[in-house]
Chain A
């Protein structure tokens, strides 16, 4: 079985490498046969890669210790689901998973039944295959998941107990899926820049064609339409992965809470921040024909930063709580990132004339101006996070001593940037593309501000006096009020006599617009959770005897009993706590200590009572003589809002990604050449489909 896996890995490397070459070359020279052999080779390569995945999964599940990888990460007593999760625990396995996911997405991208073929599809597919081939090459030459175990035994080292958590089953695959998906917008923009084709004229244009090779030819804007859903998928998946990791870290004691600004956490946050900016520049390009150079740079930077994150986790040169090997393959990812950075810069400079804005910024109160401010804020946060992460290496290079910055560095910066982002997000529903708000919108903004002020005063009356908490409360209330006002205005515009019908119609017609605002509200919820838990957290350490009751942070906590259980692979000690409040039914929490037999290692399993006001986080440390335990209680206000925000973002993105009939109409319009991206948009193209969507947004606003 191992030999089969090794053969298939080699076959996948060769096939995918050829597929990248043949599809690019075939598309560029219009050699249909070569292009088709490339596509067939890609399918063969993906099939071979899938077999490698299956072989490794079967080996892990069957505890086949003739595989070195299986010996490293499983043991006979390890439950099957954690054995399977070992597939992405180690370096070789995680690369295999990443390559496989990237290959699957590339296939989905290439063979998706689009209504109209695009000349960008094959070259973009070739770039995706090249990236996949890069990962396959690393596996073949440096990190072989099929490596033989020189001295196979009856038992493996087992999975580290801290990784035996349900989040381990889904967190790493989600993050790798996010990394893989960021490759699609990058591939599309490179393909668009390499093409001399304008919009919507397949026949007369092809890659490298000399007849339309003027440097003034506007770039094929159809890549924006194709890239937007992929960027949103990548952003949602990576964001979901980051939040899931944060939740895991929150539940796993000793990992510094839900966010510790560790280099590895920062490594995944940076591409997500850049991706957030990219999504907004894509919209601005599509609706206003502006921010084109920024958009190109961000599409390439998002993928570059995914490679940088991989470099962080595998180079071993950064101070991280995560234990990583000093593997040479990290430098390969840094090399790829540098190639992308230099190549992207050269392309932007070379194609600068093709990337001129179609429409100038006309008003600072237009939506695109707010988009610019939010992009600046997001990129500043990304830059600060990158600086903090690289500070050790930079300080060593500059002053000869390794100096690192603590969480305070990031937290200080987060305050002004977070407030700016909240402000732009809050005002968005009542702004228009290309023009300042109308008189009606200005009135709605004023009313929203008054309502937000009332909410802030109410919050102040509850005893919350911190200026930052009040500012966040005001902005959160303002965000909700502007969205509600936008809905009221739109429903009246659609059907003034029957407002509920108008509201329903407004939500249906502007589904994507409001789905985007739901994502914004999710961000607002996360801001509430972060602010509440950062400013209001308190902890209390105590020893409790059986039957003892303590009153703390509005809770009545009674230590009922200590429960000890013996499981096949571990010993479990749990303290049963009865938690009750005023007039509430009691709930029971069981913080625990687990002794993992194989590793002879204790782990702490916290128990959490979560409400909309906050979390009661309980930790069992150890026994104290007879019938007494040492506990820590932590009160984390508003934590549930953070997880709610994450779910809202995912839900909003899902609704936004659902296909739309209107988009199909617009797509046909684009393909029929009614739209010419570029400066000639004042004539019949002034009513282009792209602008129509912008107009619809404006109408809704």
Chain B
């Protein structure tokens, strides 16, 4: 057997194993990537499916529990809103009217049970960097007020 054929076989083995691992990885990690409107429209067919939804936190809807381990808010789309309950650690700059990405599952009531919420990172190439109003846990607000008083 010539060297190029041997190398071809070796390369095919590497490629085959890689393709198989890619398939396994895809099968375990895929999720729908939706806007709020799309998610609300297709909600019945998406129950218990893993989804990643992109939208803005509606004004006057954000409620962060003490310790910042849970947040409830409405995710605003163009026409529809989606209720979200997020458990787990929350990003520092989570605030109302901010664009966020939420990953989780839709439950039977049409709420998104998020296990991961991410605010979009900072700003490069964004036309107007937003100045967000702060929404903090009670203790951080106290510290904030203390700082202001000084």
Contact = CB atoms under 8 A, between A and B. Distances in A.
Interface string A50-72: 00000000000000000000001
A462 interface: no
A571 B67 contact: no
The B interface is mostly helix, strand or loop, or mixed, namely mixed
Interface string A572-595: 010000000000000000000101
A407 B26 CA distance: 9
Interface in A138-163: 157-158, 160-163
A408 interface: yes
Contact of B134 (A319, A601, A604): A601
Interface in B51-83: 52, 54, 67-68
A412 B33 contact: no
A380 B125 contact: no
Interface string A360-371: 111110000100
Contacts of A621: 67-68, 89, 137
Interface in A373-422: 373, 376-377, 380-381, 384, 387, 392, 401-413, 415-417, 420
B53 to A, nearest CB: 10
Given A325-B126, A409-B29, A373 B68 contact: no
A564 B143 contact: yes
Interface stretch (A89-97, A227-235, A666-674): A89-97
5 contacts: A94-B124, A158-B129, A162-B93, A602-B92, A622-B140
B137 A162 contact: no
Say which size band chain A's interface belongs to: 35 or more
Contacts of A158: 129, 131
A691 interface: no
Interface of A: 72-73, 89-91, 94, 157-158, 160-163, 172, 253-256, 313-314, 319-325, 327, 360-364, 369, 372-373, 376-377, 380-381, 384, 387, 392, 401-413, 415-417, 420, 564, 566, 571, 573, 593, 595, 598-604, 621-625, 630, 632
Interface of B: 3-4, 6-7, 10-11, 14-15, 17-18, 21-22, 24-26, 28-34, 52, 54, 67-68, 89, 91-93, 95, 99, 101, 118-129, 131-134, 136-137, 139-140, 142-144, 146-148, 150
A406 B131 CA distance: 30
A593 B143 contact: yes
Contacts of B11: 372-373, 376
Contacts of B54: 319
A323 B7 contact: no
Contacts of B52: 319, 404
Which among B122, B140, B142 has the highest number of chain A CB atoms within 10 Å?
A: B122
Closest 6 CB pairs of A and B: A571-B147, A412-B25, A406-B29, A323-B120, A409-B25, A408-B29
